[in-house]
Structure 1
């Protein structure tokens, strides 16, 4: 079973916001002649990298709920200009919506076992992804999602 990461998606109010941000950043890199890849920079490098790269994903917590995930493609440790160790989590830019799963706020990222991760929205429930974010949030707050 793959191991995953979970992280707060700070600054995004919805999955649509995250998708727009990813698209914007990829376009910026394309225009700048940089490699067109999506990554998230973190302070800590996961020690269980091999497990994460064996099919793992980064699950995003948006507005108090896990709402989506992106597959982890690579983990790149590096040292920044100030001499601080950091890590780039290279992600598939495709955002996969999941069942909503409530999560309290936390700092950094955490490991997430496959059995504790929310399921992807399947074909029979794809209509949930089309529902406006505000309505999804209200239904989640009522415990209906």
Structure 2
């Protein structure tokens, strides 16, 4: 298994990426991300791999990679379509500097899903505004 990591250009948060993808899935199915460079490790990616999205400087979500298909960009040039499962899974936020294109991400370097973490005791007892501020700062 192997993952990809990619910047979500233009997204301010996971909800923004999700909204954009929902519209795109309806108007241009299947849901996919187009890229000029074909991943050479196809079999590893399709063996349970995901694409991890960097949003606003943090790795924040992932989507399972379903397939890699031949595709065409809007300008007619050939590309690869990374077909994605529509489910965006939140992950433990991790700061990430900007980079071009996509990169491979080894499974042991990938942040864990948030569903795998239990909430720290007392978090739900904090005032809603404080919880929101802590989430925005990627501290919880």
Question: Shorter-normalised TM-score: what interval?
Answer: 0.7 to 0.9
Supply the distance in 1 between the matched residues of 2:85 and 2:56 (Cα, whole angstroms): 22
Post-superposition Cα deviations, 1:46-100, rounded to whole Å, max 9, x if no partner, equal 0000000000000000011100000000001345586744110000011000000
2:103 is the alignment partner of 1:104: no
Supply the distance in 2 between the matched residues of 1:81 and 1:28 (Cα, whole angstroms): 14
CA shift, 1:22, in A, is 1.4
TM-score w.r.t. structure 2 length?
0.82
Return closer, same or farther for 1:85/1:17 CA change in 2, 3 Å cut-off.
same
**Which residue number corresponds to residue 76 of structure 1?**
69
**1:136 partner SS:** helix
Q: Retained in 2: the 8 A contact 1:44–1:85?
A: no
Query: Number of paired residues?
Result: 130
Unaligned runs of 5+ in 2: 125-130
Please identify runs of 4+ aligned residues in structure 1 that moved more than 6 A: none
2:80 is the alignment partner of 1:87: yes
Supply the distance in 1 between the matched residues of 2:60 and 2:87 (Cα, whole angstroms): 14
Query: CA RMSD of the aligned region, Å?
Result: 2.3
Return closer, same or farther for 1:79/1:24 CA change in 2, 3 Å cut-off.
closer
